[in-house]
Structure 1
Amino acid sequence: MATPEFIRDLRTSIGRQLLWLPGVSAVVFDDRGRVLLGKRVDTGGWSVIGGIPEPGEQPAETAVREVYEETAVRVVPEEVVLIETMPPTHYPNGDVCQFMDVTLRCRAIGGEARVNDDESLEVGWFAVDALPELKEYALTRIKRALEAGPTWFQGMGEEPPAEQP
């Protein structure tokens, strides 16, 4: 994901030290039950769509904006799937960030999936039983978005619901 200007400005003051940031992930489904994924420029891997909210932006607004910016697909956020603090990420340039991710299940309402910015190599719709290789965090978000039930909050003393066979 591209680094927003307000974070580059912060880095001029705080240097490379740990920066605590919000993040928003969007698990987008179409009317056929397929999930929208992007192949990221920075990692070369497939993932759910996500990004950092602009100052003052609500998570649902971030999901709508990020999905459109990266894929040209229009979405409506439907529910909060999970809220989770991720382990710190150490970037090659020495920056350290830790994200609190809010994952939203979204429904596609328009647009044709395509690469729409410089953050993705490819974008596409995938059947949930035919996903490309994904990192565990992306798989977890997709699994939670498919489950009926309450939002899962990390660290609340309960393990996440058991996976169905």
Structure 2
Amino acid sequence: MTTPKFILELRAKVGHDLLWLTGLTGIVLDDQDRILLVQRADTGRWALIGGILEPGEQPAVALVREIHEETAVDAEVERLIGVETFPPAAYPNGDQVQFLDLAFRCRPLTTNARVNDDESLDVRWWPLATLPPLRPEEHRLIARALSPTTEPYYVTSAGRG
């Protein structure tokens, strides 16, 4: 996976210490009840499209960029689904991270999906009724994107929101 230059520069200064980063997740849904997923090159698992907000970028603009970079699909953001802090995690090389994730429901402007970078092994439109195994948080994001509620999810207390 390609690590953004700004993270490489930060890592040169802080080593493997915890980095607080802004992540972006796109739930791209078409009008045929399908969702766009990528098969990650680093883990082999199917996942929602995601990326990291780079300095100076606007979140919705950055997510549209990420969707195109990973899948060759042009999309537009429809609405914010949620804002959530994920637990700290560590990569195999020891780098520690914690993400503030901004999740958006998106709709495709084009639908010809293909692997468009080295971060994915496969890219595919999946019918919502026959999804591959996904992480529980990804199922929650999909449910929120499909919900008629348009208010974004966020935590309002020490518990869950």
What's the counterpart of residue 154 of structure 1? 155
What's the counterpart of residue 163 of structure 1? none
Aligned positions of 1:54-133 closer than 5 A: 54-133=54-133
- Deviation readout 1:56-101 (Å, 9 max, x if unpaired): 1111011100000000000010000011100111111110000000
Aligned positions of 1:18-29 closer than 5 A: 18-29=18-29
Question: After the TM superposition, which parts of structure 1 deviate over 2 Å for at least 4 consecutive aligned residues?
Answer: 154-160
AA paired with 2:3? T
Q: Show structure 2 runs of 5+ residues with no match.
A: none
Structure 2 Cα separation of the partners of residues 89 and 72 of structure 1: 29
Residue 141 to residue 99, structure 1, CA distance change in 2 (3 Å): same
Q: Show structure 1 runs of 5+ residues with no match.
A: 161-165
Number of residue pairs the alignment of both structures matches: 160
1:49 and 2:37 correspond: no
Residue 137 to residue 21, structure 1, CA distance change in 2 (3 Å): same
Structure 2 Cα separation of the partners of residues 2 and 153 of structure 1: 29
SS at match of 2:50: strand
- Deviation readout 1:29-67 (Å, 9 max, x if unpaired): 112121000000111100100100121111101110000
Q: CA RMSD in A?
A: 1.4
Structure 2 Cα separation of the partners of residues 44 and 94 of structure 1: 20
The answer to whether the Cα contact below 8 Å between 1:31 and 1:108 also exists between their aligned partners in 2 is no
Aligned sequence identity (%): 48
Q: Quote how far apart the aligned CAs of 1:18 are.
A: 0.4
Report the TM-score, using the length of structure 1 for normalisation.
0.92
1:143 and 2:143 correspond: yes
Report the TM-score, using the length of structure 2 for normalisation.
0.94
AA paired with 1:32? Q
